[in-house]
Structure 1
């Protein structure tokens, strides 16, 4: 029997109490200029001092685990990882950001989790090969900070640190409470995700900044081509949909990368071709194979693909005509990533072909319509509290990892379908849409 009550009282409750007290202290004691000035005067509260205090704590955590104090190790490690949130907030609120801090903060994170990963690889719960690859990429990324201009952690580095903490939590719970079938199956996929993120974090540090957007678009294109191959070779369409989802994640940031660091003259072309392949062709093939009669699948899948292509071309033409440089906050018509998610998840999740046909056609019509939709990355995400985004992303990736290992994708598919359905009907509740109507 899985000891859920023990996990809740011995692990979850103390962790939430620590996190709650930390959040309360940060927000309550950094409200006024006088409080901020007091923090600025005390060197032991400087973000760099907190980061340096974490240097030996990963080794202490591994020692506690080796000595048999697993519960204490778990809570001790969690406490010091929470301080990684604290020093960032102090740096922003007290204007104590330094170039040195941009280097030592990621180093302190690595010194926290690296000893634990090595110890767990030595003891058996983690793959020594994947841990070795992960640490090789991680060390290379840290060393590269001596030679690059931007020393702070990039998006992939922050995601990597978060996923490593999730991985260690899962392994720690199994270490303390014995085999947990639901959690245990996620360990290998989580470690693989961490290794991939470590590679991306390092890779994106050492290449020119103006290539960031192009590389994200090219990776999105690769996801689309791989998804087409999955469908055409007869593999389950859910794998192709997973690649489309990965492409959407990449597409979420390529535009903002171009705005921040610039791009090459071919950047917009790369982005359009990648979107058309991932969100148009791949999903069109997923739609096609969802129908028992080939001609119906070709007709509906082709109509969907045509809507995506028209949607992309119209967006580029109108953007150039209006002289808009950079990204936009709202779209005229349903964005192709949202259309791909709705059409793809419905064809994988729903077995009724009539329902699938109706959903795909409605999705195609919304894409070519003039209904106003907010840009998810620029207009929606900034309104969501950071802690909520982190928890939701972590929970979704955890369920995705379980799906990869167990071939059970119902939970992430349902979440994706419901979230996208809410986005599709969001114009009904938008003041701007009602006024325009």
Structure 2
């Protein structure tokens, strides 16, 4: 880790994808009670971000390494950060909590975790896998209430739940510009899942662009073919666009880039259920959540029931612009009236209190070998940790040290990831279709 000043809080952020890295790094800076010396760790796996993805999310660190779970635990034991932010899927959080509990260090770090965006699925599963952290951050008042209800409902301590907000909200308020008319569709890697559903959305975007030739229509993509984010993308829009009869119209483009910068020129944000809707609402940009494929838990758009944002392409084609319900907005942590800047005060104060204690209390996850003997060992084993949280023999490989380019662009591992992703995106769907015949 870099050598901090005497006042700096030493924070280690462990993330398993580009979006979680963004959430973790920005959260660390939002809640730290003072200057931060931030070291980033990328968990080695199928979703380890590329250099391009890291540059696009716009979250930096003083140093950045790629590690296994065992390598991260070793780094913690060697370098003793003050705070650890676990920006991982639930199983990863649970494994690292047990791994950290098994470490024998003079003073254990304070552990923070949470969710990268809208929580619309696996609420109980994800929350119980995160139980044991000192702070479990909720991105809104509504989420904080739901989180506490889950913990209390199973008899678990709910005191770690702390209301905050999404750390990447911001940017200038929306201001219409004369001559500018830009619709942005915020694509998601796994929503919807099927090729038919994704083709439907792209077809409607193409039709909308042709119906409104003076409007710029941007399809904001999360990744390039072969790259992964948190979820597997079996049917990239880039591939589907190649099959559009007659090609895409000149006023429709597929774009990458930092979402905040794309929103700077957005006049209407359209999505199925992307967290980009929260960024858009925070800035006062007209926002639409699609019902074309139904309002379903599998899509995540059920989260927006009561928001006033649910609509269809037919209505958008006719000029409809949804108006958000103010009461719904008030519970979502997206207010752009000054309250957002205070949204992290409670988390910052609680973190300062924990850091000021002589020693944090022992890590006590809800899941233990006694409470979940048929579940927990498998969760730990996926990260090569034993039932006691100790790395299995041979799990602690050497940590790579170097700049981000060396970490994420190693030729051998990059080729292996590419082969794996090709199998997931191109070969596996074919096998599944053959099996269905």
TM-score by length of 1: 0.22
Q: Which of the two has greater helix per residue?
A: 1
Higher-Rg member (1/2): 1
Q: Give the TM-score of the pair, scaled to structure 2.
A: 0.22
Relative contact order, CA 8 A, sep 6+: which one is greater? 2
